[in-house]
Amino acid sequence: MVRTLSGIQPTGNLHIGNYLGALVNWVRLQREYESYFFLADLHALTQRPPAGQLRSAVRELAIGVLASGVDPDKSTLFVQSHVPQHAELCWVLTCLTPLGDLNRMTQFKDKSAQQPDNINAGLFTYPILQTADIALYRPECVPVGEDQDQHLELARETLRRFNFVYGDTFPEPKTAKSHAPRVMGVDGDSKMSKSKGNEIGLFETADETWQKLRGAKTDPARLRRADPGNPDICNIYSYHGFFSPPETCAEVAAGCRSAALGCVDCKKMLAVNMEAVKGPIRERAAALRAAPKRLDEILAAGAEKARRTAEETMTLVRERIGIRGEANA
């Protein structure tokens, strides 16, 4: 099977934006590819999270990934820091990456603006670690969103440079456009994010979800129940597209345009369909929390397989760059 690789940061409680934007895609990918999925805790260090918070976030993320349908018998799921070759290859590639290439990365400016009191070197060299993440597993396919295009081009340039200096070692990573949707927050103004407080948590109960949906932004033209609306600009209708069957979406669209369906009724229909998806995920997550040993076993097995694959790559890299000695023999 063709190999693919993808990662996600443990930066907070999972929300439906994470689910729709990454986890649904991972479940699909595992049916079509030899899939390596990792929890990017080394990347999360750029935000300087407290140690206990990071450990908890990693476990909750692993639970969410598995509860959402990623099957450890079909995929390799592991924690990035459990595979030390990520950091080792990152340093090798750092020594090959011109400062000018990193200066052109626009995401450094964006990330620095998000945390102006913690503009650390990790934010600047972040794309090199991403390159190492990819190169270690030599995937034929790397699904990325548009915001990662620049980083993937840097990865290709860095690996071409390695091949030029040390001999043909790495295949050029090919990218597949991710069709992950851009999920807006309940405020309707920006992308769903826990830091912005506009999220709907993946593990929230039906009542908690409803409380957020009740106050969620809808079509601003519908000031009264009798006002016709435009579902194409309604954030709640976009959620229907993710969670409701096609016949419900058609009913909602027609009811919105004719004012036959009020916004509250529309939200109630959404809440039912959203809970039909979230409820089973929440139940599977609860079962995993009740069996911490099983979670440890899954992550340990994934890390062991990932280390074997990564070490094959690093053995070749060490030979090429001239640091292979008795300790690595």
Q: What is the CATH number of the domain that holds 141?
A: 3.40.50.620
Residue 246 — very low, low, confident or very high, per pLDDT cuts 50/70/90?
very high
109, 174, 177, 191: which is the annotated catalytic residue?
191
Provide the pLDDT for residue 57: 95
For the segment 7-25, the average pLDDT, to the nearest whole number, is 91
177: pLDDT confidence band, cut at 50, 70 and 90? low
In this prediction, residue 63 carries a pLDDT of: 97
In a domain, 197, yes or no: no
| CA-to-CA dists, residue 110 to 116, 147, 163, angstroms | 10, 11, 31
For residue 210, being part of any structural domain is answered with yes
Q: Are residues 242 and 314 in the same domain?
A: no
**What confidence tier does 59 reach under pLDDT thresholds 50, 70, 90?**
very high
Q: What's the pLDDT score for residue 124?
A: 87
φ, ψ for residue 175, nearest 5 deg: -105, 145
Q: Is residue 218 part of a domain?
A: yes
* Model confidence pLDDT, tens digit, residues 98-154: 998 888 877 777 777 777 888 878 888 999 999 999 999 999 888 876 667 778 889
Q: Are residues 8 and 123 in the same domain?
A: yes
User: Do 17 and 129 lie in a common domain?
Assistant: yes
User: Which tokens go with 322?
Assistant: 């001239």
Confidence of residue 329 (pLDDT cuts 50, 70, 90): very low
Tell me which residue of 144, 166, 163, 165 sits closest to 153, measured CA to CA: 144
Judgement on whether residues 70 and 161 belong to the same structural domain of the protein: yes
The radius of gyration of the chain from alpha carbons, rounded to an integer in Å, stands at 22
Asked if residue 20 is part of any domain, the answer here is yes
Euclidean distance between CA atoms 15 and 191, whole angstroms: 12
Q: Is 192 among the domain residues?
A: no
Percent of the chain with pLDDT over 70: 96
Q: Tell me whether residue 196 is in a domain.
A: no
For residue 15, give the DSSP letter.
B
Arithmetic mean of pLDDT over the chain:
91
Mean pLDDT of 286-294: 96
Which pLDDT value is given to residue 325? Answer: 55
Asked whether residue 229 falls in the same domain as residue 130, the answer is: no
Active-site option among 74, 194, 212, 217: 194
Residues 16 and 75 in one domain: yes
Burial level of 127, CB count in 10 A (0-12/13-18/19+)? buried
Q: Model pTM?
A: 0.90
- Give the pLDDT band (50/70/90) at residue 13: confident
Q: How many domains does the chain have?
A: 2
**Predicted local distance difference test score (pLDDT) of residue 221:** 78
Q: How confident is the model at residue 326 (pLDDT cuts 50, 70, 90)?
A: low
Residues 26 and 110 both lie in one domain: yes
Q: Residue 196: its pLDDT value, please?
A: 84
| pLDDT-wise least confident of 14-28, 146-160, 240-254 | 146-160
Write down the pLDDT at residue 294: 97
Q: 164 with 109, same domain?
A: yes
Whether 173 and 155 have beta carbons less than 8 Å apart is answered as yes
Per-residue confidence band for 179, with pLDDT thresholds at 50, 70 and 90: low
305 a catalytic residue: no
Per the structure, the complete domain to which residue 267 belongs is given by 203-286
Burial 229-260 (b: 16+ CB within 10 A, else e): bebeebbbbbbbebbbeeeebebbbebbeeee
191 is an active site residue: yes
Q: Per the domain annotation, does 208 fall within a domain?
A: yes
Is the residue at 96 inside a domain?
A: yes
Statement to judge: residues 177 and 277 lie in one domain: no
Per-residue model confidence (pLDDT) at position 327: 53
Q: Are residues 136 and 36 in the same domain?
A: yes
Q: Same domain for 215 and 157?
A: no
Residue 178 is predicted with a pLDDT of 63
Average pLDDT over residues 197-222: 92
Both 32 and 87 in one domain: the answer is: yes
User: What CATH code is carried by the domain that includes residue 271?
Assistant: 1.10.240.10
pLDDT score of 328 more than 90: no
pLDDT of residue 67: 97
Mean of the pLDDT values across residues 227-242?
A: 90
To the query of whether residue 74 is one of the catalytic residues in this protein, the response is no
